[in-house]
A = this chain, B = another copy of it.
């Protein structure tokens, strides 16, 4: 059941256009703009991506995968589970901080679903290792931690005096069992 050639072409054009639009205007870029940039009608967007959020997910899927894949590697290569946690969270934050509007969008609905589904198991593994090693307080919920870090990334692009990474650093430090 292979797709028609024009459909495949349009889907790629849309992904490219969306990626470009997200870079220059943030993930809030209007659907019409993306359609125009791809040389396509809005209807075509909605056939390929039933909702705006599906387009966002599609654009960032690769990077989420990479972030997920990095988890086990960091756990193996770090000097301690807490160090691995810190480094992995940094990776996650780096990803979010560079995508204008993504952290806020993450709080509403479907993005949430995919991102968390993919990253929670990884986070859980690292948190579990750190807990077992007695390096962080027990009972930390991986979902909650991920959401917290995601929230801290909100507004990180603006030039006011907000340093998301610093705050995330404090949060991770506060997890320590001392």
Residue A73 is within 8 A (CB to CB) of chain B in the complex: no
* One of B104, B148, B167, B170 near A104 (C-beta < 8 A): B104
Residue A37 is within 8 A (CB to CB) of chain B in the complex: no
Which residues of chain B come closer than 8 Å to A178, judged between CB atoms? 178
A162 CB, nearest partner CB in chain B, Å:
5
Per-position 1/0 for A156-175, Cβ under 8 A of B: 00001111101101111111
**How far is B175's CA from A161's CA once the two chains are assembled, in angstroms?**
17
Which residues of chain B come closer than 8 Å to A160, judged between CB atoms? 143, 147
Which residues of chain B come closer than 8 Å to A169, judged between CB atoms? 174
Which residues of chain B come closer than 8 Å to A143, judged between CB atoms? 160-162
Residue A151 is within 8 A (CB to CB) of chain B in the complex: yes
A73 CB, nearest partner CB in chain B, Å:
25
* One of B141, B144, B162, B172 near A144 (C-beta < 8 A): B162
Residue A154 is within 8 A (CB to CB) of chain B in the complex: yes
**How far is B161's CA from A173's CA once the two chains are assembled, in angstroms?**
21
* One of B144, B161, B170 near A166 (C-beta < 8 A): B144
* Cβ contact within 8 Å between A167 and B155: no
